[in-house]
């Protein structure tokens, strides 16, 4: 897959996420997909209904204000994308920070794998320590 095609697929996916467009996000995913956000209360999902449920929960729990692209690395059928996410968490349970809310900025690392031009795997790691610190989570 060409870089330009991978960029377009990921940028479209991110655009759907930014617009809270659940149908658009789901349409950007392959028929068989693996989806995992770390941390997440639901773990890895392979069932599209489970992925849809996760996004619905995410969209009701966070309000993005923007992202700052940092780096993007390419393979034959994958992208590693690093950004800084800016916005507000209204329900911290989506990041295992139950009862917490507030403005946050955190690094977000995605790995996307593609099959037949579609996103077949999405894994994302959120900087949980930064989220916890900004939301005032008391540890240990």
Rounded CA-CA distance 56/95 in Å is 14
The mean pLDDT value for 81-110 works out to 97
Q: Which residue has the tokens 């996916």?
A: 13
Q: Is residue 77 pLDDT above 80, yes or no?
A: yes
When pLDDT is averaged across residues 74-80 and rounded to a whole number, the result is: 97
Evaluate if residue 138 carries a pLDDT over 90.
no
In this prediction, residues 45-72 reach a mean pLDDT of 96
CATH number, domain 3-135: 3.10.450.50
How far apart (Å, rounded) are the C-alpha atoms in residues 55 and 61?
10
Judge whether residue 58 has pLDDT over 90: yes
pLDDT tens across 4-14, in order? 999 999 999 99
């Amino acid at each position: 897959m060409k870089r330009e095609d991978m960029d377009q697929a990921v940028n479209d996916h991110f655009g759907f996420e930014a617009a809270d467009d659940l149908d658009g996000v789901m349409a950007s995913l392959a028929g068989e997909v693996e989806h995992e956000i770390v941390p997440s209360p639901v773990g890895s999902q392979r069932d599209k209904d489970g992925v849809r449920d996760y996004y619905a929960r995410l969209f009701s729990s966070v309000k993005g204000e923007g992202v700052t692209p940092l780096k993007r690395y390419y393979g034959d059928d994958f992208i590693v994308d690093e950004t800084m996410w800016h916005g507000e968490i209204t329900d911290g349970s989506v990041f295992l920070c139950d009862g917490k809310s507030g403005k946050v900025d955190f690094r977000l690392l995605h790995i996307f794998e593609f099959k037949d031009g579609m996103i077949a795997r999405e894994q994302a790691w959120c900087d949980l320590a930064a989220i916890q610190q900004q939301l005032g989570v008391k540890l240990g």
